Amino acid sequence: MFHTFSSNAQPVPLIAQPLRASVVSLVLAAALLQLAHPALGAAPGTPRSLRDAAAGLFTLGVGIGDRIPQRPADWPLLTDHFAAVTPENCLKPAHVQRAPGQYDFALADAFVDFAASRRLEVVGHCLVWAKDDRTPPWFFRDGTNQAGRELILERMKDHINAVVARYRGRIATWDVVNEALDDGTNYLRPSGWSAACGEEFMAHAFALAHAADPKAVLVYNDYNNELPAKREKQLRLLRSLLDRRAPVHAIGLQGHYELDRIPFRDLEDTLVAARNLGLKVIVSELDIDVVLRSDWWADHGARRQALSRHDPYRDGCPPEILRRQAEQYAQLFRLFRDHADVIARVSFWNLHDGESWLNDFPWHRTNHPLLFDRDRRPKPAFDAVLAVLQGHDTDRIQFQSDRPRNDAASPIPSSNTGPASRSAGLQSGLPSND
């Protein structure tokens, strides 16, 4: 399914010569006009489906709520534009097996059945979450004592065998290990997994998942792993797993970005590095935050009281913000298109702005991070992405260039949490004191 790429492959240049500002203004004015009048701007017979436009490049997917079978208002948008679905929570260990041997597959079964009825590919997320507050505590306990290596690996084996075998042939891709790398100076995130087994648990997890479903695509998934320091740890991990002959097929880049702070060059370097390893890349949880959450951690959290009341776009997102978001989504998808040989899938995280996790994390605010607004209408970013996928834009338009960022002061957390833990302020990917 995956082929090995030559280490001599040259990246496609990301930024070409810009056109005049007037041309850029016309492109985005047309996108804004299309928002008000969707029938305008499309040539007769031109598909308006993201899924169809991406065909031949990569799969287009979306992470959605577990209860999508009970939300028929979302079905047309979902099936018109996406080919793959990731359930937000119902396949995570804390939901599937809260107590030893007590499995709860009710939501997952309904989700997989729904997806099959609409010919949507399913992504299983996730088998092992290498973070203690996202793993049922009993995994690491042996009575009143800490469980040892053999017991933890045996429990992992039972869990993976039960879950993957149940959906063999029905779930196409598994995020086998999620968020094992440290955000600070350590190699691996401190956890019950790494304390007992080092990185060995990951090699075992991939081998077990492959044995349970040899046709499934197996992914290592993380956040901020396109940034240089964490990318180097990721490459170290992947080389080690491949040396152990672990069946790793793809790298998952969550892709939770912020407006004006997207690390385009780091992302391209990561795509090239994956190609050189012979691995595919999956952009697994894409969005562009417009009410920047990194401010929450700036200055050691000194601004949190003020930010907790900060809701600048509750009455709507300003056209200038929508324009910049459209530009930056276009540049991202131009990069994805130019590296389509290494990208297997791009998945957004949530279907439309009203369902985004970024409305509640790390504080409650009205956010606008996706391609569709709260009324499920396409935004200028939708038109920009569609134009790139259809090849109707020009590579010579230079949109937002990289801006310097202080990664230590601007952590970009993961979305991997359910509504209850979001409201409690628990979230994967917090700064190093998490």
- Sign of torsion over alpha carbons 4, 284, 257, 75: positive
The Cα–Cα gap between 314 and 365 comes to 7
Q: Confirm if 7 and 276 have CB atoms less than 8 A apart.
A: yes
Residue-level pLDDT at 393: 67
Residue-level pLDDT at 308: 96
Asked if the bond preceding 90 is cis, omega within 30° of 0, the reply is: no
Going by C-beta distance under 8 Å and a sequence separation of 6 or more, which residues neighbour residue 411?
A: 183, 224, 294, 297, 429, 430, 431
The Cα–Cα gap between 343 and 337 comes to 8
Question: How sure is the predictor about 163, in pLDDT bands with cuts at 50, 70 and 90?
Answer: very high
Phi, psi of 68 (to 5 degrees): -55, -30
For the chain, the average pLDDT equals: 86
Q: What is the pTM of this model?
A: 0.83
pLDDT by residue (tens digit) across 334-366? Answer: 999 999 999 999 999 999 999 999 999 999 999
Mean pLDDT across the stretch 298-320? 96
Tell me: pLDDT of 12 over 90. no
DSSP state of 186: S
Q: How many percent of the chain have pLDDT more than 70? A: 79
pLDDT by residue (tens digit) across 104-158? Answer: 999 999 999 999 999 999 999 999 999 999 999 999 999 999 999 999 999 999 9
3-state secondary structure of 303: coil
Residue-level pLDDT at 408: 36
Going by C-beta distance under 8 Å and a sequence separation of 6 or more, which residues neighbour residue 193?
A: 128, 130, 135, 152, 180, 201
203 token code pair? 């090699």
Going by C-beta distance under 8 Å and a sequence separation of 6 or more, which residues neighbour residue 175?
A: 123, 124, 125, 126, 127, 219, 220, 221, 252, 284
Mean pLDDT across the stretch 313-320? 98
Q: Which helix (H) or strand (E) holds 129?
A: strand 121-129
pLDDT by residue (tens digit) across 403-413? Answer: 444 333 334 44
Q: Among 337, 369, 250, which residue's Cα sits nearest to residue 50?
A: 337
Mean pLDDT across the stretch 223-236? 98
Asked if the bond preceding 190 is cis, omega within 30° of 0, the reply is: no
Q: Confirm if 108 and 96 have CB atoms less than 8 A apart.
A: yes
Mean pLDDT across the stretch 239-245? 98
DSSP state of 5: P
Q: Among 80, 53, 84, which residue's Cα sits nearest to residue 386?
A: 53
**CATH class of residue range 21-423:** alpha beta
Query: What Å distances lie between residue 69 and 64, 82, 91, 406, CA to CA?
Result: 11, 16, 16, 42
- Residues marked active site are found at 179, 285
Question: How sure is the predictor about 392, in pLDDT bands with cuts at 50, 70 and 90?
Answer: confident
Mean pLDDT across the stretch 171-180? 98
The Cα–Cα gap between 292 and 258 comes to 6
The Cα–Cα gap between 139 and 150 comes to 12
**β pairing state of 173-178 and 217-222:** parallel
Domain boundaries, the chain: 21-423
